[in-house]
Amino acid sequence: MPAEQLLLQGNEACAEGAIAAGARFFAGYPITPSTEIAEVLSRRLPEVGGHFMQMEDEIASMAAVIGASLAGTKALTATSGPGFSLMQENIGYASMAQVPCVVINVMRGGPSTGLPTDPAQGDVMQARWGTHGEHSVIALAPNSVLECYTLTVEAFNLSEQYRTPVIVLSDALIGHMREAVTLPAADEMRVAQRGEPFCEPEEYDTTASTVDRIIPAPPLGSRYKVHATGLVYDRRHWGRPDTSDPGVAQDLGDYLREKIYHHRDSIVRVEAVEMDDAEVAIFAYGSVSRSARAVVRWARAQGVPLGMIRPLTLWPFPTEAVELMADKVRAVIVPEMNIKQMSWEVRAAVAGRAEVVDYGRVDGRLITPNEIRALVRHEFPLHGWEE
Amino acid sequence: MVAVKGQGEEKAAAPVEVRFSGSGGQGILLAAAVVAEAATALGKHVVATQSYGPAARGGASKAEVIVSGQPIDSLEVESPAITLCLSQEAFNVYAADTRPGGLLVYDAGLVTPGASLCDRDLCAIPFTHETTARLKRAVVANIVAVGALIELSGLLPAEAVEAAVVARIPERFRQLNIEAYRLGRELAGMVGGGDRASWDRRSPLSARG
């Protein structure tokens, strides 16, 4: 007998996933459609010995999350478009100072106040490039309530392992819908713990992380001296600012990128649906991928070789999976609730080997199966479709 | 009894889309939540979405529940098999989306249906009027409507939905809501009279094929 099914909201699942991942600190400022994450954690965190803080704005929220993480606690915040914009500078600080933390962005229509209660996918590029300067980031895109839970756990694991902010890109539809789910038992989930640095305190200052051996962040107040700075620092002398040596800056920039990209194969997760003999593929993520999957089933029931590539990891971009897809199919349909944001990345990876068909919608409505069906019909003009 | 009950598991397996609609404040979200929770407790696959924002405070609001015996792909309800309308505005906006052959239940005291919906099973019950007359509390008309909708559609076992009402409603309002749910089932039994056989033939779930 499996564990009991629960009727859980996507935002509630994110909150419970954070608790399961060991997060014990949340700082945030309420904003639709993310507010339930804060609401649930304001009740749940004190129950498990954690802390919840409502801050004066999103800038302070992100700063408090970084502070909590530097003190040794797994920490997160949750927000939506306008708040995500305000957090960008401090997300860059977390990238630079290599502070593990998780930001859940429940995407809504934008820019600015936009469509506060309607879903969008307009922040996928902001998640990658929203903060200034060269940096790397990890971003995950759930397409179900269960994935709101499991990918939040995954986000914490990746943030600890790679000492980086990790963004969970949910949307207003996924965040507010409820699904019957059976949550995995605690022993079925891998939860990464923040380790001790691999070296003694006196060696810490001179022991450099490498891409193969990222030294965990020691908590403030421990035996280790910690200096977290937003300035460029010498990677071989932790936290020592050095803005005069171009070589130091280049080394740090390369390292901050490569510590993620070097591990792309183990970070990136992609779901392939009916791709073995696919002639045309849909590239879809988040809530739109649910409509796309329905269309794949519909097409296959009629003997039409349609498949789907669904990245659970948006950043780093699943370049290899798209390259493999491009060798198989003659066309890739990219429906997204923005205008061509990820399809440019798809185009770059496809590199002319297949046609790329964009389909964008920014009116706060989910792209429906019927809309995608019309695109698929166009790619199989000779097929006799059943209505 | 129409629909899922007695039709075997293979019918129960296909996704059934249900839309609850009315005005903000009529308890549309609660009505949908009760059905979604009953289906969850029965081990079904369930997706529940709702309108959110200004529409939840007056105007036409809606909540949708998809119940299925198999994993649910699409989150979008485009043409529900079952629609409940508790206000004229909701009827005007949402009733016509009901798929041909589908079940359309509405509050006969608040809604005057248009003439163009003759290929749906229109089922008119004066929920608000009857609830006020029998229970003295119009506020539970939403749960009366749930009782009628379950009785008419056979979407889920009636006892399972009553159990969800019991589980969902706080103790001091529980008995009132149980009575409301049972009143809805009773009212549904008075609909159609001798024509119930035609209901069975044209039921939304058998029409799915």
Q: Contact, A318 vs A283, CB < 8 A?
A: no
- Candidates A1, A5, A148: best to mutate against B (most CBs of B within 10 A) is A5
Mean pLDDT across the stretch B161-176? 97
Name the residue facing A291 among B46, B52, B76 (closest C-beta): B76
Q: Residue A272 corresponds to which amino acid?
A: A
Instruction: Find, in chain A, the residue whose alpha carbon is nearest to that of B79.
Output: A370
Helix (H), strand (E) at residue B106: strand B103-107
- In sequence order, the 6+-apart residues with CB closer than 8 A to the CB of A256 are A95, A96, A98, A134, A135, A136
The C-alpha atoms of residue A217 and residue A71 are separated, in whole angstroms, by 9
Instruction: Find, in chain B, the residue whose alpha carbon is nearest to that of A366.
Output: B76
- Candidates A1, A4, A6, A7: best to mutate against B (most CBs of B within 10 A) is A7
Q: Residue A274 class from Cβ within 10 Å (0-12 exposed, 13-18 middle, 19+ buried)?
A: middle
- Which tokens is A10 given? 């996507």
Q: Contact, A316 vs A158, CB < 8 A?
A: no
pLDDT tens-place string over residues B26-71: 999 999 999 999 999 999 999 999 875 555 556 778 999 999 999 9
* A293/chain B closest Cα distance in angstroms: 6
The C-alpha atoms of residue A273 and residue A299 are separated, in whole angstroms, by 12
pLDDT band (50, 70, 90) for residue B4: very low
Instruction: Kindly report the three-state secondary structure assignment for every residue of A237-277.
Output: CCCCECCCCHHHHHHHHHHHHHHHHCCHHHHCCEEEECCCC
The pLDDT of residue B55 is: 52
pLDDT band (50, 70, 90) for residue B195: very low
The pLDDT of residue A290 is: 98
Instruction: Find, in chain A, the residue whose alpha carbon is nearest to that of B42.
Output: A5
Q: Contact, A144 vs A289, CB < 8 A?
A: no
Verify whether the Cβ–Cβ distance A7 to B40 is below 8 Å: yes
The C-alpha atoms of residue B116 and residue B96 are separated, in whole angstroms, by 8
Name the residue facing A290 among B39, B45, B75 (closest C-beta): B75
pLDDT tens-place string over residues B99-111: 999 999 999 999 9
- Candidates B18, B45, B75: best to mutate against A (most CBs of A within 10 A) is B75
- In sequence order, the 6+-apart residues with CB closer than 8 A to the CB of A250 are none
Verify whether the Cβ–Cβ distance A290 to B49 is below 8 Å: no
The pLDDT of residue B5 is: 39
Q: Is B17 on the interface with A (CB under 8 A)?
A: no
Whole-number percent of chain A with pLDDT over 70: 99
User: Above 50 in pLDDT, residue B11?
Assistant: no
Half-sphere exposure of B25 (CA within 13 A, CB side): 5
Beta-carbon pairs below 8 A across chains A and B: 68
Q: Is B70 on the interface with A (CB under 8 A)?
A: no
Could you tell me what percentage of chain B is helix, strand and coil, using 3-state DSSP and rounding each to the nearest 5? 50, 20, 35
Half-sphere exposure of A382 (CA within 13 A, CB side): 0
pLDDT tens-place string over residues A367-384: 999 999 999 999 999 988
Q: Contact, A303 vs A330, CB < 8 A?
A: no
User: Above 50 in pLDDT, residue A62?
Assistant: yes
The pLDDT of residue A340 is: 96
pLDDT tens-place string over residues A262-280: 999 999 999 999 999 999 9
User: Above 80 in pLDDT, residue A198?
Assistant: yes
pLDDT tens-place string over residues A16-59: 999 999 999 999 999 999 999 999 999 999 999 999 999 999 99
Mean pLDDT across the stretch A230-248? 88
Verify whether the Cβ–Cβ distance A7 to B49 is below 8 Å: no
Name the residue facing A370 among B36, B73, B78 (closest C-beta): B78
The pLDDT of residue A2 is: 54
Residue at token pair 């003759």: B118
DSSP 8-state symbol, A366 = P
pLDDT band (50, 70, 90) for residue B209: very low
Verify whether the Cβ–Cβ distance B74 to A179 is below 8 Å: no
The pLDDT of residue B201 is: 28
User: Above 90 in pLDDT, residue A239?
Assistant: no
